[in-house]
Amino acid sequence: MEITQDRRIDVFCVTESWHDTDSVCLGRLRSSGFNSITAEDLSVNHGGVVIFSASDVIMKLLTVDQPSTFELVCVRAVVGQLTAIIVQRPGSAPVQQLFWDELAAVVEQLATYQAPAYIAGDFNIHLECPDDPHSVQFRLLVDCYDLMLHHNAATHHRTLNAVITTEDAGCPEHVDSRSSWRPLDIDQFRSVLSLPSLCQSRQVAE
């Protein structure tokens, strides 16, 4: 987490953390001054999603309908009054209609907050394949709510992490995701975080 301090990253979203609220790792981060919020309902745990923030950024857990087909954490951060949502849908589970219904319900609630919003996560939808039926339906849902979808390319096993923003949140200049920490090249990761587009005073990173 020294990277978040060095680069002034205020809000940091993580999927597949494999840690819950009582994790020793999260406890150490909190003792170092970071704030962290994990899913309250641990019965729906598809890898563990966490949202971290810098010590001077206050986060408030927002109440949203808890889905059963994916893991979710939704917070309001006092940095620019933005809303941040982290999502993890298990790739081992088939995409069912209930997933679309629950995702639409979350986005519907998001619209009531009237604040710039970021939805980041691992949806396990093949967005790199424009003709894939689930990819088409995902994009239609995003367009239906006047949201913007940002992504780069497939990460692992053709799975794509995606970032979605409301129009008033602006367009991220750089979106890059990592799905597995073991092969992570730390030097390359630091180099990417040093890009001018990321080294601004207020950033949200996945």
DSSP state of 74: E
Q: Is the pLDDT of residue 21 over 70?
A: no
φ/ψ of 64, rounded to 5, equals: -130, 160
pLDDT of 22-73, one tens digit each?
Answer: 676 777 777 777 787 787 555 555 567 888 887 788 888 888 888 889 988 8
**Domains detected in the chain:** 2-173 (3.60.10.10)
pLDDT value of position 158:
45
The pLDDT tens digits of the residues spanning 139-158 come to: 999 999 999 988 655 554 44
The reported pLDDT for the residue numbered 7 is 59
Kindly state the helix (H) or strand (E) to which residue 85 belongs, with its residue range.
Answer: strand 82-88
CA 197, 198, 203, 204 dihedral sign is: positive
pLDDT at 96 over 90: yes
Distance CA 158, CA 99 (A): 20
Cβ–Cβ under 8 Å, residues 90 and 157: no
- Please state, rounded to an integer, the average pLDDT across all residues of the chain: 76
State pTM to two decimals.
0.72
